[in-house]
């Protein structure tokens, strides 16, 4: 999401996520890490290359990571910087041979799994290995060691990861840190540090906008650029994307989060370009920036190199959407809401959101999700979802009583959405999914969402204009941004200003299924999944412009199967 001032022709205006929080403001106007982490991670806050250690060049200056855990395996990641000039994206690296090890004990006296790997320039000297043969529901330590050459014997920071419980077992709980929207220039990443040491967190789920593509100064907060992007220009080429990822991964808080917890990730738009869709993006000009698909493929290649994700490039028949089972407690489907979606429409054609042919998921992914829901026997069905599913309408309409008026005026049958980049822009497909939930008798679906740089607790109504009479289809928990701009940044006022609070109240009053909104603070949301309930805890930071800030619990909500979401 990105917001900027521009001159727009109202007759062709198509609201994008750039304008959503500004629209909210307009509505209002009208109406400390652990010892292990501290000892292992070098602080490198403004350079692509971490400061040299006393003994010389650091091979593992981008840390370690793990992700996509299964019951007996987990992906392990690192980057081996082969020499001081081997900056990400420079194509100046050379092969580095490594040994990786996994052990349940910190001393690595009893190795559970090990193997050899090579960091090669073709992958920007990143390495991903699948550590298999592990015990289910177990925390492990892991590390990499250089086995040959000038830096032989140098060892990475020790990471912590875990495997999922096996099917047939119902664990007591699953703790998810729900995160999205981290903008280097907008400030620091204190939220990541908090996740890394939060004992309630088992897995970090990033639902998009892991980084931003803009040039220096192109997208900041109300305080301007707190620290500068690398490279300084908007990223377009493979080398650009690699360098931006490498720059992000010098952040000590992000390194800590990757080092201490396994991640599950999906992308949104800024991993490529703002408001992207299957054949283009709002922030892509073919005249000056070349072929969009080439840019997208470069961005995806860098994403798959730098993140511990079980996916292969599209050119090899790959896809990002996938499923994880956490015993019988939860089935987690991670969706891809950018690669297959149709081009967004102009707002003057807003009635077309009811067009049955328009899709965000694409037919194969839609069928995949339906099949997972039909066959799931888990207590909870969780959906990693990059943009809001809940209707946000001004106002919600009852199709039965208002259908004739809507048809006469060319309006959507359920009401006018405020953001066509969200699921509101694909209302017909959303209704199809809600129908699937009803047909399968599902009362346990919870969407875990980011994107909108704010915090929301929502019932997903069967029909927004007839809520609550028609019932609740599902629940949505929306986590705020790590630090990317929200309402107070846009209006350049303190947090909890009158504009933000009035916007929150106006949207909740118009949409009774939205139970809570907070437009100003940054941080993340802890989602504690238990057999009988899900607890959502929003954790906020007061000042993103200062590093190493503490977070605090701002709000708690509870989800009970079939009963929606309510204050805890």
Q: Which residues contact 33 (CB under 8 A, 6 or more apart)?
A: 41, 193, 196, 197, 256, 260
Question: What is the percent of the chain with per-residue pLDDT over 90, rounded to a whole number?
Answer: 82
Question: What is the per-residue pLDDT for 32?
Answer: 34
* pLDDT-derived band at 34, boundaries 50, 70, 90: very low
Q: Tens digit of pLDDT for each residue in 252-268? A: 999 999 999 999 999 99
> Distance between CA 238 and CA 299 in Å, rounded?
6
pLDDT digits (tens, 9 = 90+) for 66-107: 999 999 999 999 999 999 999 999 999 999 999 999 999 999
3-state secondary structure of 231: coil
The CA distance from 141 to 131, in Å, is 12
Report if residue 447 sits inside a domain. Answer: yes
pLDDT of 15 reads 41
User: Based on the number of CB atoms within 10 Å of its own CB, is 109 exposed (0-12), middle (13-18) or buried (19 or more)?
Assistant: exposed
Which of 193, 96, 195, 112 lies closest to 147, judged by CA? 96
The predicted-structure confidence for 95-146, as pLDDT tens digits, reads as follows: 999 999 999 999 999 999 999 999 999 999 999 999 999 999 999 999 999 9
Confidence (pLDDT) at 401: 61
Query: Stretch 279-286: mean pLDDT, rounded?
Result: 97
Q: Is 483 within 8 Å of 187 (Cβ atoms)?
A: yes
Region 517-523: mean pLDDT is 98
pLDDT band at 512 (very low <50, low <70, confident <90, very high): very high
433 is a domain residue? yes
Percent of the chain scored above 70 by pLDDT?
88
Q: Is residue 55 part of a domain?
A: no
Q: Is 554 exposed, middle or buried (0-12, 13-18, 19+ CB in 10 A)?
A: middle
Identify the pLDDT of residue 413: 80
Nearest C-alpha neighbor of 152 from the set 215, 96, 211, 104: 96
Least confident of 39-53, 72-86, 439-453: 39-53
250 in a structural domain: no
Counted domains in the chain: 1
Report if residue 341 sits inside a domain: yes
Phi first, then psi, for residue 451 (nearest 5°) are: 75, -45
Q: Are 513 and 461 in contact (CB under 8 A)?
A: yes
What angle do helix axes 252-260 and 190-197 make, rounded to 10 degrees?
Answer: 30
Higher local confidence (pLDDT), 550 or 53 = 550
What's the average model confidence in pLDDT over 508-513? 96
What pLDDT, on the 0 to 100 scale, is given for residue 486? 94
How many alpha carbons lie under 13 Å from residue 539 in its C-beta half-sphere?
23
Q: Is pLDDT of 1 > 80?
A: no
Answer yes or no: is pLDDT of 37 > 80. no
pLDDT of the residue at 44: 38
Strand ranges across the sheet with 551-560: 126-131, 74-79, 64-67, 263-265, 203-206, 174-179, 522-529, 534-541, 551-560, 564-567
Confidence of residue 407 (pLDDT cuts 50, 70, 90): low
Tell me the mean pLDDT in the region 204-214. 98
Whether 395 has a pLDDT exceeding 80, the answer reads: no
Answer whether residue 165 shows pLDDT above 70. Answer: yes
Taking 60 as the threshold, does the pLDDT of residue 328 lie above it? yes
- The answer to whether residue 71 is domain-embedded is no
What was the pLDDT predicted at 352?
86
Does the pLDDT at position 567 exceed 60? yes
CATH number at 524 reads 3.60.21.70
Structural domain containing residue 326: 10-31+165-208+320-567
When mean pLDDT is compared across 44-58, 267-281, 293-307, 454-468, the lowest value belongs to: 44-58
**In a domain? residue 272:** no
Pairwise pLDDT comparison (54 vs 550), residue with the higher score: 550
Buried b / exposed e along 170-192 (16+ C-beta atoms within 10 A): ebeebbbbbbbbbbbbbbbbbbb
Q: What is the model's pTM?
A: 0.90
pLDDT at 415: 83
The CA-based diameter of the chain, rounded to the nearest angstrom, is: 76
Top-confidence residue, 28 or 268: 268
In this predicted structure, the answer to whether residue 35 has a pLDDT above a threshold of 80 is: no
Q: What is the mean pLDDT of the chain?
A: 90
> Residue 563 pLDDT more than 80?
yes
Asked whether the predicted pLDDT for residue 17 surpasses 50, the reply is no
Alpha carbon distance 302, 298 (integer Å): 6
- Mean pLDDT is lowest, of 274-278, 396-400, 414-418, 520-524, for 396-400
Higher pLDDT pick, 11 / 28: 28
- Residues 325 and 137: their CA atoms lie apart, in Å, by 12
The verdict on residue 132 lying in a domain is: no
């Amino acid at each position: 999401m990105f917001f900027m001032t521009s001159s727009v022709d109202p007759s062709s205006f198509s609201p994008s996520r750039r304008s959503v929080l500004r629209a909210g403001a307009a509505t209002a106007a009208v109406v400390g890490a652990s010892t292990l982490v501290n000892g292992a991670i070098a602080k490198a806050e403004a350079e692509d290359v971490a400061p040299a250690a006393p003994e010389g060049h650091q091979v593992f200056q981008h840390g370690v990571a793990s992700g996509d855990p299964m019951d007996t395996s987990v992906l392990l990641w690192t980057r081996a910087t082969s020499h001081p000039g081997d900056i990400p994206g420079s194509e100046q690296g050379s092969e580095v041979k490594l040994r990786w090890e996994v052990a349940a004990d910190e001393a690595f006296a009893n190795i559970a799994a090990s193997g050899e790997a090579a960091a090669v320039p073709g992958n920007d000297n990143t390495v991903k290995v699948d550590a298999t043969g592990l015990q289910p529901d177990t925390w492990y330590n892991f590390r990499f060691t250089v086995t040959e050459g000038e830096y032989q014997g140098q060892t990475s920071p020790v990471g912590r990861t875990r495997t999922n419980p096996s099917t047939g077992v119902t664990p007591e709980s699953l703790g998810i840190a729900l995160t999205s929207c981290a903008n280097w220039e907008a400030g620091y990443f204190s939220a990541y540090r908090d996740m890394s040491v939060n004992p309630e967190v088992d897995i970090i789920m990033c639902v998009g906008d892991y980084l931003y593509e803009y040039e220096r100064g192109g997208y900041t907060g109300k305080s301007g650029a707190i620290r500068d992007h690398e490279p300084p220009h908007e990223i377009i080429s493979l080398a650009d994307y690699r360098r931006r990822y490498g720059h992000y991964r010098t952040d000590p808080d992000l390194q800590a989060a990757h080092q201490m917890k396994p991640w599950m990730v999906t992308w949104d738009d800024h991993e490529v370009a703002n408001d992207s869709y299957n054949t283009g993006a709002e922030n892509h000009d073919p005249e000056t920036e070349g072929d969009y698909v080439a840019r997208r493929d470069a961005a995806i290649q860098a994403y798959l190199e730098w993140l511990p994700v079980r996916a292969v490039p599209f050119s090899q028949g790959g896809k990002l959407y996938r499923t994880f089972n956490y015993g019988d407690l939860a089935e987690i489907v991670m969706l891809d809401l950018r690669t297959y979606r149709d081009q967004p429409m102009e707002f003057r054609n807003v009635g077309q959101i009811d067009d049955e042919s328009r899709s965000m998921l694409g037919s194969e992914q839609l069928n995949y999700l339906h099949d997972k829901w039909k066959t799931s026997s888990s207590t909870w069905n969780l959906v990693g979802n990059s943009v809001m599913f809940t209707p946000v309408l001004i106002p919600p309409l009852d199709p039965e009583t208002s259908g004739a008026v809507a048809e006469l005026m060319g309006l959507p049958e359920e009401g006018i959405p405020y953001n066509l980049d969200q699921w509101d822009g694909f209302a017909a497909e959303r209704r199809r999914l809600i129908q699937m939930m009803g047909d399968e008798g599902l009362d346990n679906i919870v969407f875990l969402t980011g994107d909108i740089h704010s915090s929301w607790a929502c019932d997903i109504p069967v029909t927004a204009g007839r809520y609550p009479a028609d019932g609740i289809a599902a629940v949505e928990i929306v986590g705020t941004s790590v630090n990317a701009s929200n309402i107070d940044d846009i209006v350049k006022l303190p947090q909890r200003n009158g504009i933000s609070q009035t916007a929150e109240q106006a949207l909740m009053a118009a949409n009774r299924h939205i139970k809570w909104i907070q437009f100003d603070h940054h941080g993340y949301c802890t989602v504690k999944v238990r057999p009988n309930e899900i607890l959502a805890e929003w954790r906020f930071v007061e000042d993103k412009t200062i590093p190493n800030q503490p977070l605090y619990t701002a709000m708690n909500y509870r989800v009970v199967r079939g009963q929606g979401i309510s204050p805890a």
